[in-house]
Amino acid sequence: MLRLRALRALSHGCKTASSTVEGSYSRSLKGSYVLSSSVTCVSAASFSAQPELQQETTSSSSPTPSSSTAPTANIDAVFDYHERSKHRTDKYAESPQDLKWEEQPRPFRRYRGSPGTSLRHLPPIYGAATDQQYSRSYSEFVNPCILTKASVSQLMYDSFSVAAWKKGGPSQWHVRVNPSCGNLHPTEIYIICPPLAGVGDSPFIAHYYAREHSMEIRAEIPFELWRDMTNGFPPGTCFVAFASIFWREAWKYGERGYRYCQQDIGHAIGAVTMAGAAMGWDSILLDGWGTEDLDYLLGLAGRKEVPVGSPKKGYYPELEQEHAHCIIAFHPSRAHQEMTVRGKPDYSARSRPRDDSIYKMSNVSAPVANLLNTVGSRMAGVEFKGLRNKLSSEHTWWDIIDRTAAAVVKPAETRVISTKPMPPWMSFTSSYLNLTLRQVLHKRRSLTAVDSKWVLQRESFYQMMWKTMPSGYNNEVQGEQIQFPFRVLAWRSEVHLAVFVHRVSMLPKGLYFLCRNNEHLPLLKKAMKPDFKWEKPEKCPQHLHLYLLAESNCESLSKQIHCEQDIAGDGCFTVAMIGRMDVIKEKGAWMYPRLLWESGLLGQLLYLEAHAIGISGAGLGSYFDDAVHAILGLKDKQFQSLYHFTIGSPIEDRRIENLPGYPPPNRKESDKKQLESDLFF
């Protein structure tokens, strides 16, 4: 019988719950990770935890944050969480030791009693001849679709729908267009729209129900609130907001699960941003919105908390509540919308100048001042319809997750936003298959096994690295996020890539580093090992800030630091995403999840790039944090590893049957009875 780990871990390569395997990992890594000045030496030799990595704590003596930051105690709390949730060679982060797959939380949230609206199924094959080619989608907008029920249907279908059902032996599970650590999907999606034909006569908030590809209308928004939300935006603007059910990841991964929830938000941001781009919609994360206002807007305010001192295990329905994170505005990229049949965009003007008629917003306040901290009172009389379904009959309470979520609550503030410039053209795209953007979005899958003989072409590698740069192709100065999909973010880049190159033609094996913000390069060089080369590799494009640090075969080392996961060393390359943690001290504790969002967004981009050239990738959430820091020579908390990703040629498991995403397969009789007995609150 196929093991469930192989069947269900269409995930980010996260660790198994087996304490036996966990123990074997620890025994195999008893020494310091040495990356010497010798170009042939990268090894894992007798590991003994470095005191400065294992024992350092963040205290209130950290640099004083600016006046706009959260209290210092909250900053200390997120540093404490990050330290506590690390995997170490002698001890994993706290997690369940008696995991039972049959107790997995239900993967789909429902709101019983809320009016349902079926969405249209618009698979990529429909209109493929006119859909935007993937190779052109990062540097130009197509003419936008107008905002209709059909276009909302496509936005959700191309970002969060069920991509396929899988069957192996007696087990059956689904995968979605957007990835999730452990395929557990803690992210809940909300759509906020003006009146739409076929939906209603008022602005509304709807919850997206992926299993049926439908919307559950939760509430109607007062027109005055909608007017203030869209002030300064063009007609045809809508919003997508995200919330998380932390319990879904904590069920399997315990304390580290909070990280994975935030990384999944980053993947979701990337998925919906690129789905919007396929329809000619630009997007911007409205980071001025406060967490409390978002909770009120989405009907999530008034959460009940687990009482302090409660037993670790028990029945805690409070853990199944959602926590709001962010809201993204989608608006037409051009001032003049042109509609063809079924709301599909008109591509006849493809030869137009790139910035011709691009809709430009200038100095728009979002949210407007009179919206700050008033959403609760404005929504006070609004009835939210529907009762949420029960996900589990028993829970394990990881209280540090709740404490961290409380520490990163963001205050509301008015932010001035403007349309970002179009990214520069990318001159080399020859590696891409002849695929549309929509086809690539739906092809995304996580690899679970990789062909260790397959070699990536150097040009393709450089092409991928260019796509991860925030300011786009051939920009000497990097940092401002204008490249797709990073243009959605509201801050300058804070995450860089350490790259373990295994199989790239005409490129030496070894450790490389990609700097995504020029301002950080002196800090990185000072923080990392002094004997690193910092040399540009051969044929590296001039303004691609990629550096060779040391040459060596890193395959075994990469597997070891990734908890003996073969895919980390058998593929073409593996990246470690290194975040600048000082931004938390400078701005506030709420920047911690945003660093994880940026990391998840990078992972989503790498997924798409891999599939666009015919290979695949996988997120790696399981790795020994401080071992990575030791390899790089990072001895304090200025820079920390946040998320990893690997790319290679997948080996397909032919024992697994692939079924279409819709209609969903019939439920077993036992599942139907369980569904009928579900509790709703």
CA–CA dist 472, 203 (Å, integer) = 36
Asked if 510 and 550 touch (Cβ cutoff 8 Å), the reply is: yes
Per-residue model confidence as pLDDT tens digits over 300-352: 999 999 998 898 999 999 999 999 999 999 999 874 434 333 344 333 333 33
Q: Quote the CA–CA distance of 137 and 22 in Å, as a whole number.
A: 43
Give the span between the Cα atoms of 167 and 2, in whole angstroms.
11
Handedness of CA 381, 387, 391, 395 (dihedral sign): positive
Q: What is the pLDDT of residues 553-595, one digit of tens each?
A: 999 999 999 999 999 999 999 999 999 999 999 999 999 999 9
pLDDT in tens, 377-393: 999 999 999 999 999 99
What confidence category does residue 680 fall into, taking pLDDT thresholds of 50, 70 and 90?
low
pTM score > 0.75 for this model? yes
**Average pLDDT, integer, range 224-236:** 95
344-358, 551-565, 641-655: segment of lowest average pLDDT:
344-358
Could you tell me the two tokens for 96? 């369940």
Tokens of 372: 């700050």
Query: Looking at residue 340, what is its pLDDT?
Result: 34
* Amino acid making up residue 207: H
What mean pLDDT comes out for the span 616-631? 98
User: What are the structural domains of the chain?
Assistant: 108-417 (3.40.109.10), 451-648 (3.40.109.10)
User: Is 29 in contact with 44 (CB distance < 8 Å)?
Assistant: yes
How many Å apart are CA 613 and CA 457, to the nearest integer? 10
CA distance 401 to 399: 5
| Residue 403: CA count within 13 A, CB half-sphere | 17
Instruction: Note the pLDDT tens digit of each residue in 481-490.
Output: 999 999 999 9
Indicate the SS3 state at residue 35.
Answer: strand
Tens-place pLDDT, residues 139-178:
888 889 999 999 999 999 999 999 999 999 888 999 999 9
pLDDT of residue 470: 95
Dihedral class, residue 563 (left if φ above 0, else alpha if ψ from -120 to 50, else beta)? left
Check residue 358 and give its pLDDT.
59
pLDDT of residue 446: 95
CB burial class (10 A; 0-12, 13-18, 19+) of residue 41? Answer: middle
